[in-house]
Amino acid sequence: MKRPSSRHGRARDVLANKPAPGAATLAAASEAVAAVVSGGRAADEVLLDTAERIDRSAIQAIALGTLRWYLQLLPAVGALLDRPIAGLPPNLAALLVTGAHQVEYSRAPPQTSVHLAVEASRLVGAARASGLVNAVLRRFVAERAELLAVASTPDMATPADESSARSSAHPLWLVRQLRAAWPEHYLAILAANNEHPPMTLRVDLAQLSSDDFMTQWRALGREAAVVAWRPGAITLARPAPISVIPGFDTGRVSVQDAAAQLAAPLLQADAGMRVLDACAAPGGKTLHIAQLTPGLKQLVAVDIDAARLRLVEDNFARANAAAQLVSVERLCLDLTQPTAESSALLQPQSFERVLVDAPCSGTGVIRRHPDIKLLRRPTDIEQFRAKQRALLSAGLKLLRPGGRLVYCTCSILPAENELLVGEVLAADSRAHALPWPDALPMPPGLLIRPVGWQLLPGQDAGGDGFYYACLGVAT
């Protein structure tokens, strides 16, 4: 039949070719998965590209869910191919795994998910493989119970770590490191890493009580629970956009995990002090320090990343709408290589309080960032350790004798935490560990380590995995 050539004919064509509702969402999610898995990009950064789309929440949920279970779904889908899945074009492999995720986890009937994946193949530039997508995912629907059971059940031929790695969709190296570090807890850690993360708020108690926030929140027909061990921390029953959170736009309320809310109070800062936040961006903890301790003499926020450091300013602009906070001096630099211009602000032994919230593997926040399972390599840990050692040593040099430095990470690997801090203490005879402050309630499940304290993800406290150490220096 001749192709219609009129404008109406073309419009009919376009309509006839219009993908089924949901196919574009699935295609965008699978492109995000490919960008992480094959492009090595962080999911947060990739998903920013979809921020303006009406279906951004659905794209995010599908992409993060697929990344969460990727290491289990990939071999299950791969078993249905007559060639190695690693040899497929990345966009096609990502679409197959994303489609399998939807078959397994979406509330839509499995056949609908298959149909959407077939439609999406056109949108991700894999139209010629639509037959393959259809055939593989149909078989996945029929055989997934056995395919995923193979991935989950330990047997004589599968050592326990490999079985745990497959069933929890974690890389084997990480399972081994977690089992070695936390033999009694590692299975619970693997399970917690696959949970959907809670959304926790920090209410600035100087401006608003938790009760008043709860009243306002319930008036919106929503539910939440106060975190018993951390005053001002409130976990929402369901995540919500920040635009609906009362008090967010004026800084009375911020989004911050309960474990992260311990860093500022651990500093025990007082009015009149100079405080350095050495790895400050995007400024969640800088703002907490400023709100918790009015009357600071000076608050200096350092970060090596200029774009992220601007977010510190945004955070303070939001909060200054309702309260006059100390102005924060922002310095964009590598703390381990201070410049001539920064030297006036960063004099040795000039800060009563220093926070080193060091860059780390993020192994305590995998539930929030499931791409960490796919992006981290075991060799990264040594690189993080080198940075952490340099940053902690630089922080100690800036600390006044009798002052207090808090080192923290969102890692649960001892190599980045107690072992690292122990090595720095051993190399610096002036430095020593300080105790947990008497006035600060310890969260349930806090593990007392040879140096410092560790929270594991989920577990009793319900927060992210976090490590903290408090250090001082002698004259």
Ligand X SMILES: C[S@@+](CC[C@H](N)C(=O)[O-])C[C@H]1O[C@@H](n2cnc3c(N)ncnc32)[C@H](O)[C@@H]1O
Interface ranges with ligand X (CB under 6 A): 279-285, 302-305, 308, 334-336, 357, 359, 387, 391
Q: In 10 A of CB 428, how many CB atoms? A: 15
Q: How far is the CB of 380 from ligand X (least distance, A)?
A: 14
Amino acid at 250: T
For the bound state, the minimum distance from the C-beta of residue 268 to ligand X, rounded and expressed in Å, comes to 17
CB of 16 to ligand X, least distance (A): 49
User: CB of residue 138 vs ligand X: minimum separation in angstroms?
Assistant: 44
Query: Residue 82: what residue type?
Result: D
Which DSSP string corresponds to 224-264? EEE-TTSTTEEEESS---GGGSTTTTTTSEEE--TTGGGHH
* Tokens at 398, concatenated: 């800036």
User: Shortest Cβ distance from residue 360 to ligand X (Å)?
Assistant: 7
CA distances 39 to 56, 373, 374, Å, are: 20, 15, 11
The whole-angstrom distance between residue 189's C-alpha and the CA centroid of its chain comes to 15
Q: What are phi and psi of 235, to 5 degrees?
A: -100, 125
Q: Answer for the pair 185, 175: CB distance below 8 angstroms, yes or no.
A: no
Distance, CA of 194 to CA of 53 (rounded, Å):
26
139 vs 308 by CB, closer to ligand X: 308
Choosing from 279, 360, 408, 410, the catalytic residue is 410
**Min. distance of Cβ 245 from ligand X in angstroms?**
18
Q: How many residues does the chain have?
A: 475
Tokens of 52: 């303006």
Q: Do residues 266 and 298 touch, judged by C-beta distance below 8 A?
A: no
Shortest Å, Cβ 281 to ligand X: 4
Contact criterion met (CB below 8 Å) for 328 and 290: yes
Closer Cβ to ligand X, 314 or 460, answer by number: 314
Question: Could you give the angle at the alpha carbon of 387 between the alpha carbons of 386 and 389, nearest 5°?
Answer: 65
Q: 458 exposed, middle or buried (CB, 10 Å; 0-12, 13-18, 19+)? A: buried
Please tell me the distance from the alpha carbon of residue 234 to that of residue 214, in angstroms, as a whole number. Answer: 9
> Is 332 one of the annotated active-site residues of the chain?
no
Nearer to ligand X, 304 or 392 (CB): 304
Residue closer to ligand X by CB (options 301, 446) is 301
Considering the complex, state which of residue 24 and residue 356 has its C-beta at the smaller distance from ligand X. Answer: 356
Burial of 158 (0-12, 13-18, 19+ CB in 10 A): middle
List the alpha helices (DSSP H) in 3-158.
Answer: 7-17, 23-37, 43-48, 56-78, 90-105, 110-123, 130-152
Dist. CA 248–CA 241, nearest whole Å: 10
CB of 130 to ligand X, least distance (A): 43
Among 343, 434, 429, residue whose Cα is nearest residue 393: 429
Query: Three-state DSSP class for 86?
Result: helix
Query: Which residue's Cβ has the minimum distance to ligand X?
Result: 279
CB of 331 to ligand X, least distance (A): 9
Q: Is the peptide bond before 282 cis (omega within 30 degrees of 0)?
A: yes
User: Among all residues, which ones are annotated catalytic?
Assistant: 410
